[in-house]
Chain A
Amino acid sequence: MFAIEKYRVKIHVDKEPGVYEFEPISNTGRSYLCELCKRYHNFGENVAGYDYYDYKLGIPLPQGVDLLVVDRYGLFPFLDDALWEMGEKAIVLVDTKPTRFAMLCAMEASDGDIRVY
């Protein structure tokens, strides 16, 4: 379980450490969640977001966080080993098509709350 509740938009993740991929439905708010995690990371929270442009710019995967959200992984599907390793201690949520990881997760986003389960 993981939660950040101190900001206007709260994040709740009802998962244990591991690597999960989002179900393949459009417009559920994955990119928004990734962006939010990047913003909260900048505020000093133990979360991070990572996307295709970070990879393109050579930015390494953030380490030592409790929650990592990876967006658009289908465009750079080369970090499986690193993600599995991170998943031993952190919750790693990956937007990827086609499917690569066995465990799925779903999410619901409203104005003030994002829930992943």
Chain B
Amino acid sequence: MLHLRIANEPCTMDIQEEFEKLYVEDTPAVRRILERLEQGKYCSNYCFLNRFGGKVPLSRLCSGTQAALLTALRSNMEVNLIECGYDAIGCILSCVTEGRVVVHPEICHCSIYRFGEDTSCDVALEGYRFTDLSKLDEYITEYWPNPLPYLCDGIEELELHDLSL
């Protein structure tokens, strides 16, 4: 499960600095992120193929893509997505199924579902587990931080032991 937190906190994490320390391995999630956010392809731990087919250093990836890759490859680190556009946030929530992220409450004012493309996800938020991105989007924009008035397909309540990180 990807553990999501919504909080208005100052950002103490420099995504670019943390990304420079990351070993970028070839995994399905990495490939999906590069394809969705950069229209590119994985090449190696040093470069990727951009949308024009050119080999470009990984440091040229946009901050949103770097945050997405950090989330996918460092599941023990809580990644602050403050520098991510809504499209990158939607991509992370639908492509990454293990990890921890925190986003600003401003996300409540924008539907990220339209950026997710897929409908599936595996996200824990406020004691619920969402496996349907549209339901997660609805909760964030309509109900958060209040409890849901109902459960349905795509949403289940988490047991306490599921909340441990």
- Give the B-binding residues of A (Cβ under 8 A): 23-27, 31, 52, 72, 74-75, 97-99
Contact = CB atoms under 8 A, between A and B. Distances in A.
B11 A75 contact: yes
19 contacts: A24-B110, A25-B87, A26-B64, A26-B65, A26-B85, A26-B87, A26-B88, A27-B85, A31-B63, A72-B83, A74-B82, A74-B83, A75-B82, A97-B83, A97-B84, A97-B85, A97-B104, A98-B104, A99-B106
B126 interface: no
Contacts of B11: 74-75
B62 interface: yes
A74 to B, nearest CB: 5
Nearest to A97: B82
Q: Which of A24, A74, A97 has the most CB of B within 10 A?
A: A97
Given A26-B84, A27-B62, A74-B11, 13 more contacts: A24-B85, A25-B86, A26-B37, A26-B85, A27-B37, A27-B38, A27-B65, A31-B63, A97-B83, A97-B104, A98-B104, A98-B106, A99-B106
B83 A25 contact: no
Interface of B: 11, 14, 37-38, 62-65, 82-88, 104, 106, 110
Contacts of A75: 11, 14, 82-83
A101 B127 CA distance: 34
Main secondary structure on chain A at its contact with chain B? Answer: loop
Candidate in B14, B83, B88 with the most chain A CB atoms within 10 angstroms: B83
A32 to B, nearest CB: 8
Contacts of B64: 26-27
B38 A24 contact: no
Contacts of A25: 85-87
B86 A24 contact: yes
Contacts of B62: 26-27, 31
| Most chain B Cβ neighbours within 10 Å, of A26, A52, A74 | A26
Nearest to A77: B10
A66 to B, nearest CB: 26
